[in-house]
Structure 1
């Protein structure tokens, strides 16, 4: 890949990539470094498309689109719920969603972690939850409901969270259970996202690229979490943040600086010129 190559589509994870993840504040922390915002706007100035791709719900992503100033008077594409939802904004227009029956997988997980918290997205509101999640971990309003009610109908995504467990325990749990017909990804904490088989940030981004008439070899993706693995492999150039776990770094084509050192800006400067 020569230095003359320039991506037409830049896919960015949010937490730990565009925004520094601050333990205890979670999605309440929405401060974007000036260098990152400036780098994103250089992409737009040169005719590129910037697409946010996150595990967040729709409601947790629109404020970040606004903070970055991505829309510039027209709708932009966004990939939410780890690829389960593709929408345009503003205003919110859901273009594609994937739903699945998560009841069996949830039952299997709760059998081993009976006190784990469960959440499903509720468009325009926030989440329906079995119990309230720790502050900042979910966007929008949390509506408490019986866990069986939460997964009684097909859903786009399920979050399983056990504050008393470790990420390693959840990784081992997913491997042990198999979770037939269900994709799963474990986050920085004991947090597991469940999705339909074949659905990931990569599948959502592929739909966006197709709609924009952009080929896979014209894409750049940057992320830091296990839910970015498919996205980093899908993109022509996949870049891991400097603080990412080794598994994510190994899947990437390159590693940029950590989020605390504006890694997104460092990577984008290679293709869209340095800051003035």
Structure 2
């Protein structure tokens, strides 16, 4: 959602709000999908007309959780193998890697963040900065964990890190994905935005072929491939671009959804 639907200040462009209004008029359900927690996603929509998303859903944690819009209790939830998170956290501490650790309650614990990342997450709901001396997961107590990610502004280094760690993780327990040109994310095996979309379609009783998936990076790939129409915004990454059925001319930061409505949704609903 972040580089697809929000601007650089983590706000919804006014053009996208108007696109939501038009989709509502046409009876098209808009469902936000993000790697962030439900509570954090909801904060992005706090200042818009809530009727625009009434009766909708929210897909969070890369497809691991699904909530009815406005209801903090998930209808679907998937958490991560604790031993795998323990290993990844210890590795991050040992190498002093910038980390985000996510809990089902919406907390995002961060550690070893460089200044630019600390500034970026300051506007995200639920972020708790850990002291650099913290070296165990005792701070979460018995709460389960949803995912952990490492951050580096050098995306090639991020991809090497994921490749180096892959052989050390059980593929039956952990999947690896990449996002925002700076994150490597470790999530429960089988969890991605594509499976989240499939579960949502089942909840709604619709064919996944009747859905549109819009994204910008590798953690959107499964959703783009699974949807009936896979769409990339103009800033879609080069690895995902060839997989899109359509690439828009407008970037996520500039508000790409009016173009989506004009080119795809209106022709299908006003013919």
TM-score normalised over the length of structure 1: 0.80
| 1:99–1:215 Cα change, 3 Å | same
TM superposition shift of 1:130: 4.0
CA-to-aligned-CA distance 1:26-62 (integer Å, 9 cap, x gap)? xxx2432222211222111111111000111122100
Residue in 1 aligned with 2:157?
169
RMSD of aligned residue pairs (Cα, Å):
2.7
CA contact under 8 A between 2:53 and 2:69: conserved in structure 1? Answer: no
Query: Which runs of no fewer than 5 residues in structure 1 stay unpaired?
Result: 1-13, 23-28
Separation of aligned partners in 2, 1:234 and 1:73: 23
Residue in 2 aligned with 1:26?
none
Please state which structure has a larger fraction of its residues in strand: 1
Query: Which runs of no fewer than 5 residues in structure 2 stay unpaired?
Result: none
TM-score normalised over the length of structure 2: 0.81
Separation of aligned partners in 2, 1:109 and 1:261: 36
CA contact under 8 A between 1:182 and 1:197: conserved in structure 2? Answer: yes
Separation of aligned partners in 1, 2:61 and 2:205: 23
CA contact under 8 A between 2:5 and 2:253: conserved in structure 1? Answer: no
Q: Of residues 80, 97, 111 in structure 1, which corresponds to 2:60?
A: 80
> Which segment drifts farther, 41-50 or 182-191?
182-191
Residue in 2 aligned with 1:134?
118
Is 1:57 the counterpart of 2:58? The answer is no
Q: Of residues 197, 202, 208 in structure 2, which corresponds to 1:205?
A: 197
CA contact under 8 A between 1:130 and 1:147: conserved in structure 2? Answer: no
Separation of aligned partners in 2, 1:198 and 1:65: 28
Residue in 2 aligned with 1:263?
256
TM superposition shift of 1:78: 0.3
TM superposition shift of 1:146: 3.6
Alignment of 1:31-70 (within 5 A): 31-69=11-49
CA contact under 8 A between 1:129 and 1:147: conserved in structure 2? Answer: no
Residue in 2 aligned with 1:236?
228
Residue in 2 aligned with 1:155?
145
| 1:190–1:273 Cα change, 3 Å | closer
Please state which structure has a larger fraction of its residues in helix: 2
Per the alignment, in what secondary structure is the counterpart of residue 139 of structure 1?
A: coil
Number of equivalenced pairs: 252
| 1:191–1:151 Cα change, 3 Å | farther
CA-to-aligned-CA distance 1:176-228 (integer Å, 9 cap, x gap)? 33232311112234322211111011111211111111101101111112110
CA contact under 8 A between 2:2 and 2:10: conserved in structure 1? Answer: no
